Chain A
């Protein structure tokens, strides 16, 4: 619980401190610190620089083995701060796909804008290729919020694996009804536009979590839904048919109740299934898993060093680790399994240096 205190403080205190007298009750308790561009580079503002700072910070501190998980939470905290109070650009999991397509379509039309829209997603993908998909595990604010909820549950129940108890299922069902009521209330006040389609994703997250929790659906099999999620966003971005709002409400400092509800849903769903959104529906996560296939850094488990103690499995909040095996396509490079293994049997590997041989070495336990 003590570890959660700074995260909660981050969410609540600056919001109070920064609230302005002119704000209306519709204003979310978020206010960007920088109202003027720091760098006078038209159209790019501070977004790219903030993100580069975050990425460089992460790549540096990732190598520190001692208290790595605590450091990771600090980086997540800094990242939340940056996304809530510094940058305006939508770095949402929908937004990045849409922005990339939009940026490509603007090539030749508006240079600065094209650069602006594409810079962040390209930056994320490039770093993921060279240093692994640490964006998901260390930086992504949507992931951080989910993890915060999962940690709250862990702190409360002292248990990591979610269980399909009647109480859990009833709570999830009640939460779904609450979600419907919230959406209905919002719909009373305003029309729901296609921009609000993140609500469909929110409802689907609860549904899939429910199915997995009851055992009707398989955890690993359901992750193929990310493909559907990714393709539907891609198609809508290319054809400009459906426009989705950022899943995360805090990015753009605007009143966006649908995104706020969706963020709440993703958080609460993670109480029942750790990082439920990342597992089943995150379209950007699907793209990251594709990139991770070719990325330089991978987490690899050594079969011979494994004593099947299960420490790595319970440490992984995305269910990417089975005993003696790390599923690369689901790994978020958070190093939780590496740090949890009491025998040092799980390692981050530079697969570009000696790709196949090194991997085989570790798998077979021949690595030093």
Chain B
């Protein structure tokens, strides 16, 4: 029996991964990208709340995100929301009340979703900040346990983008894996380096580091393919998806797409083997064999795919959900890539979908540039409700540079699920699912009033300028023309 067959057999014997467990170990919580955490119910009902970090609006720069996608966990039996902010803080909030438990200030914006995992019996938050540091924080108190420095500070260092950490195992050690990209434009200390690093989750010591070109990397997904087969899948803006051995960081295979990849991959165990799904700026969603990197199927959308996909099960069939900047949320058959349905929003979808169970029915949540959070029935693609999340803090923003926050869902047994999303309008919203259903508002796609005011102004200015130029030209021509006799 070949090694591949053995591995597949091993995979078949592995228990199917739970859709959500009690830890938020990577960017969308699970390998399948559900963006949900299921917890045993407590007595308290979650209520709607909003959290505003501060009133000051910091300057916009391409690539920033007001909030990272929220990570969910528990501490002392209470559900916890941990979220990074562009104001350089990591916030931990009580999920049921929105009360702030602690705040940890880093040196730069925290755009990467923190990971929450139990390490040595202690709930630990791993937060990657743009200050080139990976922090391990005590989930209970916010106290710093250790830091790992990707690149030491020097006066000319330009900046960094760190991707969301993924918690897993490198060999026998509990490890945190994360992608990083650091640059220094100075002539003397010239540097541009992207890579993935694994550090010991207990003490922050580096286990291995693999350089992967000079581009920004997406958030890695840590998947267990077998006892000895632990893999990291990470994509780069240079258009490659890499599969790394989690033990030593060795690149096992890579797949080159036609355009930059901003999205992070997701992993699932298909009927014919393990699969990785990734979308790119070329607008094509690809499903690859996780063992070999060969393409199994692909699906073309009409615009960028900047969000990750999510894999869920509807009526015994696995579906892949992905939102595209072409305004559609697609549901595809996970085995064949055939489209089951599509749901159209009023603007490009930037977020990764979150999946939740509403009284046994699977629902999909996505956020769109129409400034609404949409809830869609996963079986039929029918829109159920939308909630207005507000307009961006800045007028002039670049589409497609940032990974804006995606919704995360806390499912409490016997209670209405709580949807948490950081809005680019400023606040972090927590909305109980049933309350959102009651709101059921679909306001317009945002006002285009600004455009209709500016258009006549621009046209008046152009007309005036044209007439002035003409007048000057005619005067000059009259002066230079020979006098009439």
Contacts and interface: CB of A to CB of B under 8 A. Distances in A.
A243 B447 CA distance: 19
Interface string A15-33: 0000010111011100110
A208 B256 CA distance: 46
Interface string B396-434: 111100000000000000000000000000000000000
B192 A109 contact: yes
A252 to B, nearest CB: 9
Nearest to B304: A254
Contacts of A224: 469
Nearest to A210: B463
Nearest to A194: B396
A159 interface: no
Nearest to B258: A35
A88 B259 contact: yes
Interface in A41-87: 42-43, 45
Nearest to B215: A110
A22 B239 contact: no
Contacts, number: 172
A40 B474 CA distance: 56
Contacts of A204: 458-459, 462
Interface string B296-313: 001111111000000000
Interface stretch (A143-151, A212-220, A321-329, A338-346): A212-220
Nearest to A89: B259
B258 A34 contact: yes
B473 A221 contact: yes
A221 B326 contact: no
A190 B239 contact: no
A42 B469 contact: no
Contact of A243 (B299, B396, B466): B396
B171 interface: no
A26 B328 contact: yes
Interface stretch (B137-145, B146-154, B183-191, B268-276): B183-191
Nearest to B189: A108
Given A194-B396, A200-B455, A20 B466 contact: no
A349 to B, nearest CB: 26
Q: Is the interface of A mostly helix, strand, loop or mixed?
A: loop
A38 to B, nearest CB: 10
B300 A31 contact: yes
Contact of A221 (B183, B192, B472): B472
Contacts of A220: 473
Contacts of B470: 216-218, 221-222
Contacts of A111: 192, 214
A191 B369 contact: yes
A233 to B, nearest CB: 14
Q: How large is the interface on B (under 10, 10 to 19, 20 to 34, 35 or more residues)?
A: 35 or more
Contacts of B304: 254
Interface stretch (B104-112, B196-204, B219-227, B339-347): B339-347
Contacts of A109: 158, 183, 185, 192
Contacts of B458: 200, 203-204
Contact of B462 (A112, A194, A207): A207
A165 interface: no
Contact of B466 (A24, A32, A193, A217): A217
Contacts of A359: none
A231 interface: no
Interface in B424-460: 445-448, 451, 454-455, 458-459
A23 B303 contact: no
Contacts of B190: 108
A6 interface: no
A21 to B, nearest CB: 9
Interface string A319-362: 00000000000000000000000000000000000000000000
Contact of B239 (A24, A42, A110, A221): A42
Given A26-B326, A110-B214, A221-B470, A253 B283 contact: yes
A264 interface: no
A37 B282 contact: no
A113 B236 CA distance: 12
Interface string B255-284: 011110000000000000000000000111
A207 B339 CA distance: 45
Contact of A242 (B237, B325, B396, B474): B396
B383 to A, nearest CB: 15
B239 A37 contact: yes
B326 A225 contact: no
Contacts of B466: 207-208, 211, 217, 221-222, 225
Interface in B380-406: 395-399
B9 interface: no
A302 to B, nearest CB: 23
Contact of B302 (A108, A189, A240, A254): A254
19 contacts: A20-B300, A24-B302, A42-B239, A88-B259, A109-B158, A112-B214, A113-B215, A183-B451, A190-B347, A190-B369, A190-B370, A191-B347, A191-B370, A191-B371, A191-B448, A193-B399, A220-B473, A228-B465, A254-B326
Interface of A: 20, 22-24, 26-28, 31-32, 34-37, 40, 42-43, 45, 88, 107-113, 183, 187-196, 199-200, 203-204, 207-208, 211, 216-218, 220-222, 224-225, 228, 240-243, 253-255
Q: Which 4 A-B pairs have the closest CB atoms?
A: A108-B185, A221-B473, A218-B470, A27-B302
Interface of B: 62, 158, 183-186, 190, 192, 213-215, 237-240, 256-259, 282-284, 298-304, 325-328, 339, 342, 344, 346-347, 369-371, 395-399, 445-448, 451, 454-455, 458-459, 462-463, 465-467, 469-470, 472-474
